[in-house]
Structure 1
Amino acid sequence: MRQLLAVAAGLIVLAASACSAPTPPRADAGPPLTPTGPATLPAPTGPHPVGTTALHLTDTSRPDPWDPDADARELKVTLWYPTGRRDGRRAPYMTTRESELLLKGSRIATAPYGTLSRTRTNAIEDAEPAGRRLPLVVLSPGFTKPMSTLTSLAEDLASRGYVVAGIDHTHESYATTLSDGRVAECVACDSDTDPGFGAGLVQGRAADVSFVLDRLTTTWKGSGLIDRERIAMAGQSIGGAATVAAMVKDPRIRAGIDMDGTTYARIPKTGLSRPFMFLGSPQHVPGGRDNSWDRDWKLLTGWKRWIVLTGADHQSFTDLPLMMGTLGIAPPAGALPAARSAELTRTYVAAFLDRHLRSRRQPLLDGPSSRHPEVGFCPATCGRS
């Protein structure tokens, strides 16, 4: 089952598939609410205005892994970056059709299907980039989710001086709009119970990432914006698992973050020596419901952190909790508030990247902080819940 329990448990993932280690539904969710107006993403915290643009790339060296009639792999890549422009048209969050397919696929019927298309973003559409040789962060979303569900994180990183490349992995989400206007739906959703599905999915995503890096750092007209020696990757759910797979395959990725994703790619016995951070919900504490982080922790032989947020659930590292009001969904009792989960995600992801791509000391990553009491450092200061 791959759905969100809309009224009873908000946007908590119940899908017991190869795509994630899900958070079970909570029985103490509040009653349905009257939907509020359009959601507004939190303002970026960095000093720079943010621009964004979309690229449509085609990898002719391989067929699409999900569409047997496609002899090339088409990808949509959304870029966020610092700009000097402070006014202009704000980029759309997603199209009406993308919102419809996402809500229908997620079994959410508490608000009109086009609701998410009215979400207000902060980035200026097609603004001219500012700067050169900036660090690059690749983002990969969860299974069935479009890249837009990580927009808040992407905008914040761009405001801090990063170039962010978010990949929509075609046919792995409910909706991806391609260059000619076609909307590619989730073909992979028909296969997610197949043996080995998760492992195959992350290897395909690793190939997507390497292709995107090839294009962004060489033939793309804005390649001078990117420092090829400072590249990192982060992902949520299966996107986090794909981060491991991409780092094992591609040495250009200097550091990586898995946000609440069960890991499927096997790390070689010799280990992975580049910096890595697990950032997740209590299901990932040592001895918890998902043991993949336990398994892989000892194979991470470089700088590493394993951080768990009390009260978080599987979607806490995405924009989706920020949308609950506009969708008329009450959060479960005891859940980490949406604004706080967004703040903590942005803060700890940025601290990791600043340390490993900019060599800036980050005491925040050295241990527990009184300013962030929800944050536990495993295996020492995080407990089972």
Structure 2
Amino acid sequence: MTIDLHADPITLTAALVDIPSVSQGEAAITDRVERALREQTTGFEVLRHGNVVLARTNRGLPTRVILAGHLDTVPIADNVPGHFAVGPAGERVLYGCGSVDMKSGNAVFLHLAATVAEPMHDLTLIFYDCEEIAAEFNGLGHIERDHPSWLAGDLAVLGEPSGGWIEAGCQGTLRVRLSTSGVRAHSARAWLGDNAIHRLAPILQRLADYRAREVDIDGCVYREGLSGVRVSGGVAGNVVPDLAEIDVNFRFAPDRTVDQAVDHVREVFAGLDISFEVFDFAPGALPGLTAPAAKDLVASVHRHGGGGVRAKFGWTDVSRFAARGIPAVNFGPGDPNLAHKRDEHVPVHQITDVTAILRNYLTGAAR
């Protein structure tokens, strides 16, 4: 099956949805994207690296914009192939796995690559695999390692679902494991032991009492959160346990580094008799909206009726670009709250709207 990049991006989205591409099963969709970019665009250098497709122009323009999106989806839930229907609000929508996260965003980027004849920026397109699973498999991470020159640019736009809003930057994430120890005993003689589960009580109290910080950066308000996300303990129904654990997730505003986030969590639980292990983290990304290329995108959104600008609370791959000093935003069709759901669906007007906004931005019409 050939995908037509010159087709309406709504039709192109439907074609992409109908190509199953669960994480680590992206070969078929990657083949079609690569072939389409080679055959249906002009002026692009195209590179295939595993199940990542990269394409870039080299027109010698003063700025370069990166359009990046992941090709993989979560496991299919009886929602491929997709279908059109009338949505809950009476609008026309496209249902299907990946319709929100993020084949509609990819369709917009592919369509623009084929139809924007005279962009005012050089363009780099990156379509990558394995975003939905462990970071070690992430195709964008492999490009960072093997082809870092392809990640150079003045602004990166990730097609993550944002409902047509610019969701700037992202929050960082940190997970720590707090462990308590006690003395094992028969529960009939509980006084001979020291219950490790009971020792979790002060940890839980501090989590309940925690008040999240709100931070305004470039007009985007990030709200932090500290949450217990997993509790483990117990040996048998008649044993006082000698070990209990609780995993705590800290979502932190991008004005903190990972080290500062770790220090903050240590402070929250200071003075408790616990062990403290950091086992997962990823830095946040500052919004970078003061960069000239980002300002022009914001102007295009405002001029052409987009949703505006707000903070991104979750973590996305914009963090990888921010770590390289490149301003990065999330901007795509679809409600992120519908991502990964069985009834995942995108209002088709959002695909059209995002396409129009980005076309005006890339051609300079927003000015």
Instruction: Please indicate the TM-score interval, normalised by the length of the shorter structure.
Output: under 0.3
- Judging by fraction of residues, say which structure has more strand: 2
Greater helix fraction, Structure 1 or Structure 2: 2
Q: Which structure has more RCO (C-alpha within 8 Å, separation ≥ 6)?
A: 2
Q: Which has the larger radius of gyration?
A: 2
TM-score, scaled relative to structure 2: 0.24
Q: Report the TM-score when normalising by structure 1.
A: 0.23
